[in-house]
């Protein structure tokens, strides 16, 4: 109710204004929210019944009696006298409490899904059920017998620095006779090895089921194009395009793990890309899918990275929401990889590779998995997981007017050995040359045990089918 009083304590208006909650009392559709009710209206009758209106008060000359002083109104409100305004305020408070509870629930869910410990078992199982009702590919490739593993990864001679066209690889006139696998870049498609267990040896992940996902590819592509001029050209074994790694690294030239170092302009560029929401989004999605499909392998990654970072707080990974220690930005503009295997990676490691750019995936830039004899359509904006330490991979060449970029996450195998074999401590008693027979024998035995352990971390066909059907 809207009461207006003057300094004398009397209501200065000769009429009573109440909230417009009585439609029948409004004669003008454009009338304000507060309307004037006649003396005999229902709201005024209610007030009269409550003793708030003096029937014997003298007339003010305009046909309406004056209202009593405000002190004559009830000093407190009983439940039976709650007005519509109070009910409205109560409803507002209920809505505010509901919003606060909803916000608190969203915050709790985000905390639960932090990648430091990975999603909970229930969350991962729910997502696995969503993704596993998909087609699968069975190959004749055996992880147990078709691999040659050393202390780092597969070593089967150098790979030729060449690119091949689609017509050279598949079709009746192809000398390679490989199989073409059509893929829409959205449907999750697991690829299994041969054998009774049939372990997951590659995964065509796809992309989030979002209508505007194509804009993410466009934005990521534009970011890489805009920053390409800040990257100096250097020769490397991956292909004829510009690329840079960022994150934690360790090899035979470093006494212990360290952060990769670049010049000032490149460092600023890489920091900008890592902090951008687009690449954080790509990294976070890959991290979540990794845990969903291969929880044992994900847990191994997570545990090793936790020990690594605790041993040296100065180490900085590219993305806080990722269990990969290192990332590679391929600045193109025509990123076509030569056949290669990550000989410094774990043999069972999963690399997360995002294809980006503007090209026709039916004609160009297919993913070639030479050991599996597969040529796979790889549309821009889609993600694949490949065991880069085992499978030789490359890309089909692209046409002159097309552009292709990529974004990859991985962890060097030397970091796992630093944690597992050396306990995050520098070696002080291994001054013996690597040609020493005893050292080589020890390394070979470690590699064999590591490979056996790694195979057990990879999910099997029966495990994934059981998860999808439960």
Domain boundaries, the chain: 17-81, 85-112, 120-469
pLDDT more than 70, % of the chain? 67
pLDDT tens digit sequence for 231-258: 987 766 677 788 899 999 887 677 788 9
pLDDT value at 433 more than 50: no
- Please give the model's pTM, rounded to 2 decimal places: 0.69
Mean pLDDT of 151-171: 68
Residue 18, judged by CB atoms within 10 A of its CB (0-12, 13-18, 19+), counts as buried
DSSP 384: E
Short-list 42, 22, 15, 20, CA closest to 32? 20
Fold of 120-469: Double-stranded beta-helix (3.60.130)
379 or 19, higher pLDDT: 379
The tokens for 2 are: 């809207």
238 or 330, higher pLDDT: 330
Window from 132-136, 204-208, 215-219, 360-364 with minimum mean pLDDT: 132-136
CB contact burial 35-63 (16+ within 10 A = b; e otherwise): bebeeebebbeebeeeebbeeeeeeeeee
Mean pLDDT of 87-110: 77
**Mapping DSSP to helix (H, G, I), strand (E, B) and coil, where does residue 17 land?**
strand
Contact call for residues 285 and 297 (beta carbons, < 8 A): no
CB contact burial 190-203 (16+ within 10 A = b; e otherwise): bbbbbeebbbbbbb
């Amino acid at each position: 109710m809207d009461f207006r009083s003057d300094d004398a304590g009397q209501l200065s208006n000769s009429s009573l204004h109440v909230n417009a909650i009585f439609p029948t009392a409004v004669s003008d559709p454009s009338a304000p929210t507060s309307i004037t009710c006649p003396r005999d209206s229902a709201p005024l009758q209610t007030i009269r019944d409550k003793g708030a209106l003096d029937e014997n008060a003298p007339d003010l000359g305009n046909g309406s009696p004056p209202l009593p002083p405000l002190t004559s109104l009830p000093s407190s409100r009983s439940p039976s006298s709650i007005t519509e305004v109070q009910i409205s305020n109560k409803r507002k408070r209920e809505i505010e409490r509901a919003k606060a509870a909803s916000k608190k629930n969203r915050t709790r869910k985000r905390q639960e899904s932090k990648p430091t410990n990975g999603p909970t078992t229930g969350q991962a199982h729910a997502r696995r059920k969503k993704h596993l009702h998909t087609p699968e590919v069975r190959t004749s490739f055996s992880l147990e017998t078709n691999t040659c593993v050393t202390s780092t990864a597969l070593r089967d001679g150098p790979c030729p620095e060449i690119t091949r066209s689609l017509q050279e690889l598949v079709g009746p006139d192809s000398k390679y006779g490989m199989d073409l696998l059509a893929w829409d870049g959205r449907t999750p498609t697991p690829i299994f090895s041969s054998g009774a267990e049939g372990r997951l040896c590659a995964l065509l992940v796809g992309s989030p089921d979002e209508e505007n996902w194509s804009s993410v590819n466009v934005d990521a592509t534009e970011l890489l194009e805009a920053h390409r001029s800040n990257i100096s050209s250097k020769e490397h074994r991956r292909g004829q395009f510009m690329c840079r790694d960022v994150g934690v690294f360790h090899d035979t030239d470093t006494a212990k793990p360290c952060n990769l170092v670049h010049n000032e302009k490149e460092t600023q560029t890489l920091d900008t890309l890592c902090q951008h929401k687009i690449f954080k989004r790509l990294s976070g999605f890959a991290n979540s899918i990794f845990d969903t499909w291969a929880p044992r392998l994900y847990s191994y990654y997570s545990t090793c990275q936790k020990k690594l970072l605790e041993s040296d707080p100065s180490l900085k990974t590219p993305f806080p929401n990722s269990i990969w220690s290192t990332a590679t930005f391929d600045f193109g503009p025509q990123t076509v990889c030569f056949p290669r295997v990550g000989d410094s990676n774990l043999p069972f490691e999963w690399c997360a590779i995002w294809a980006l750019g503007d090209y026709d995936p039916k004609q160009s830039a297919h993913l070639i998995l030479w050991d599996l004899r597969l040529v796979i359509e790889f549309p821009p904006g889609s993600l694949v997981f490949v065991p880069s330490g085992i499978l030789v991979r490359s890309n089909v060449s692209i046409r002159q007017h097309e552009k292709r970029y990529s974004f990859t996450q991985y962890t060097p195998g030397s970091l796992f050995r630093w944690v597992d074999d050396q306990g995050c401590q520098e070696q002080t008693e291994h001054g013996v040359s690597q040609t020493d027979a005893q050292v080589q024998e020890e390394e070979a035995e470690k590699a064999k045990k590591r490979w056996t352990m790694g195979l057990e971390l990879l999910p099997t066909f029966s495990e994934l089918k059981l998860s999808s059907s439960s």
